[in-house]
Amino acid sequence: MKNDNNFFWGAATSAYQVEGGIKNDWSAAGFDAGEASDHHNRFKEDFDLAKKLGHNAHRLSIEWARVEPEEGKFDIKEIEHYKKVFASLRENGLEPFVTLWHFTNPIWFSKLGGFENKENLKYFERYSEVLSRSFPEIKYWVTINEPMIYAMNAYLRGLWPPQKRSFLGYLGAIRNLAKAHKLAYKIIHSNISSAQVGVAKNNTYFEAAGYNPWNFLLKWGADWWWNKRFLNKIRNYQDFVGFNYYFHNRIKGFKFNQNENRNVSDLGWEIYPEGLCRVLKDLRKYNKPIYITENGLADAKDEKRAQFIKEHVAWMKKAKDEGVDVRGYLHWSLIDNFEWDKGFGPRFGLIEVDYKTMERKVRRSVVVYRDIIESGIRN
């Protein structure tokens, strides 16, 4: 990776996980993030830290329930708030990557059937219209975060709101999220001609272990369904591919998840940096710039983070050296936050948050990331 001054280095968050004071379908379902990390009030302090850590980009999301708490009634105050947030990013030299939808819905939208109901897409379209008109200064837009993860957890596993177990609901949600993306893509471009619009897609490195033909068949199917299907659906409607990398999935004896788990995070997720490079190479076929929109680990004691970052960045560089057009790396996450159904236990932050005092403390391993950023920019 030589002379790449334009590369984006930074971290990511999402509104409900960090802001605090939000009422949406998650809080209504009992997954209440409460004050979360109080980022709504402390965003300046957080961005100031990001700048000190050498970042030049930051991904964050807008909370739909804040800006449109009742159907059709947009809250100007909240829109103004996000204007200040984006201005603060710019003041700190951080390029904003703005996500429109990161797993959470206003309560009114979920009551109407959320993304399972295609009649509701018009609401998402209007929301995208209002936001792209309100924030013409934003260039990078991520419409939908991890559609496959959401549809699986919300409509198949019954874990996330609306906590359903319905195969048809699952398929419908995926279909509608793809349509929602396309609608938003067109609207954002009609309002901001220079915008770069994509999704953040969680892709997994599926590996066939052993020469059993069934393993290969399963790998092929998983790659097609989990990694490619959604991106294929929207392929003519994306300016970049946003890629979230967390998982390795070894297929052995016609079974998924036969990982060796030699090295795992606090959540038991296998740490497998090479997979990042493998998936990046697969994404080459879309012929678009790629931004790593999330990659990180739960590591409360901060024992593995430094090595994790070093190795993932090294594999990313390898992919880049082999011709993959990667243009940014955004670590998950800037600060500790509310990890969905798992609550506040998992610690993903480069910066530790004391949830009692809301005090921020930079984790030691972050120095390693800062050094990588500095050398990455120089060489």
Residue 93 Rama label (left phi>0; alpha psi -120 to 50; beta) = left
Give the number of other Cβ atoms within 10 Å of residue 206's Cβ.
Answer: 24
Closest approach of ligand FCB to the CB of residue 298, in Å: 7
Residues 69-88 that bind ligand FCB (CB under 6 A): none
Read off the amino acid at residue 234: I
What is the DSSP pairing of strand 359-362 with strand 351-354? Answer: antiparallel
Closest approach of ligand FCB to the CB of residue 71, in Å: 25
Return the structure tokens found at 174.
Answer: 């995926």
Closest approach of ligand FCB to the CB of residue 257, in Å: 17
**64 CB contacts (<8 Å, ≥6 apart)?**
24, 100, 101, 104, 105, 106, 109, 127
Q: How far apart are the first and last CA of the chain?
A: 7
Can you tell me which of 24, 110, 128, 202 binds ligand FCB, judged by CB under 6 A? 202
Select from 144-152, 174-182, 185-193, 248-256 the region that touches ligand FCB (CB under 6 A): 144-152
Interface pattern 99-128 for ligand FCB (x via CB under 6 A): ------------------------------
Is 339 a binding residue for ligand FCB by CB under 6 A? The answer is yes
Judged by beta carbon, residue 17 or residue 128, the one nearer ligand FCB is 17
CB-based contact 188:138 (threshold 8 Å): no
Q: Following CA atoms 204, 208, 214, 220 in sequence, which dihedral angle do they give, to the nearest 10 degrees?
A: 40
Is 199 a binding residue for ligand FCB by CB under 6 A? The answer is no
Closest approach of ligand FCB to the CB of residue 182, in Å: 21
Select from 89-97, 111-119, 142-150, 213-221 the region that touches ligand FCB (CB under 6 A): 142-150
Residues of this chain that interact with ligand FCB (CB under 6 A) are 14, 17, 145-146, 149, 202, 244, 294, 332, 339-340, 348
